[in-house]
């Protein structure tokens, strides 16, 4: 696992492509989970339909939101502060050469990651990602070459959900986006759970790393940028 911290989308995209290429070439001999938090950015996946981005370039600029078209699957989505973004660089030849299986495994990682906080997440048939109380908590969009994956998941932890008003999130009209923080605050108001701690972001990150290791049967270990791509 390599935690990139707060990093611009373009830089993180370039780096994950480098790591994926190195994994394909076997220069990186193990699966890698890149974790990152992005400044506000909207990305358009290969399946983005015309009209699902509701904001003009002027509106995006006014809110300081960048825009990228990328090779991942899926529709339009948002990344920003308070969101845990994970880019698993996984060689499915060492697991199962099945992208549908892989998507379900990534969903399982996030379901397990939020469970210790009292958030009961679930899958919705025919819709990639995880949901809770009828609201979407996390999105997934992946790409693979020679069975090595990149791109990944975005789990809303303390995210400003108003950014999702700039689009039809994931191309799902009427979808209500939520966050771990929102679910905990609403639960605490009903007296069914504790309010989120100030360290919620760090706690969810650690739970996600543990869940990733358990689901993909790997022992998590911290690595560095230099160890992955010497000279990067």
CA proximity to 44, closest of 59, 64, 65: 65
- Kindly name the residue from 84, 167, 170, 211 that is annotated as catalytic: 170
- 202 C-beta neighbours (distance < 10 Å), count: 11
Q: Please name the residue that has the structure tokens 């996984």.
A: 90
CA distance 131 to 200: 19
Q: Annotated catalytic, 170?
A: yes
CA distance 100 to 124: 14
Using alpha carbons, list the distances in angstroms from residue 7 to 12, 13, 102, 109, 132: 6, 10, 26, 23, 28
Q: What are φ and ψ of residue 5, in 5° steps?
A: 70, -150
Q: Please name the residue that has the structure tokens 């698993």.
A: 88
CA proximity to 169, closest of 77, 88, 80: 77
Residues serving a catalytic function are 170
């Amino acid at each position: 696992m390599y935690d990139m911290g707060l990093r611009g989308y373009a830089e993180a995209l370039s780096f994950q492509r480098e790591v994926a290429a190195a994994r394909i070439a076997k220069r990186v001999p193990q699966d890698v989970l890149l974790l990152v938090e992005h400044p506000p950015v909207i990305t358009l996946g290969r399946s983005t339909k015309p009209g699902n981005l509701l904001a003009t370039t002027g509106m995006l600029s006014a809110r300081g939101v960048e825009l990228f078209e990328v090779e991942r699957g899926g529709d339009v989505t948002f990344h920003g502060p308070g969101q845990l973004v994970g880019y698993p660089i996984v060689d499915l030849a060492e697991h199962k050469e099945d992208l549908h299986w892989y998507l379900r495994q990534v969903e399982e990682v996030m379901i397990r990651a939020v469970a210790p906080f009292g958030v009961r997440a679930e899958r919705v048939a025919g819709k990639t990602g995880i949901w809770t109380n009828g609201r979407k908590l996390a999105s997934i969009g992946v790409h693979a070459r020679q069975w090595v994956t990149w791109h990944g998941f975005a789990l809303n932890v303390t995210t400003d959900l108003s950014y999702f008003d700039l689009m039809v999130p994931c191309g799902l009209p009427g979808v209500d986006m939520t966050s771990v923080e929102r679910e905990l605050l609403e639960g605490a108001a009903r007296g069914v759970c504790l309010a989120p701690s100030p360290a919620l972001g760090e706690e969810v990150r650690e739970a996600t790393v543990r869940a990733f290791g358990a689901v993909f049967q790997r022992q998590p270990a911290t690595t560095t940028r230099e160890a992955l791509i010497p000279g990067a």
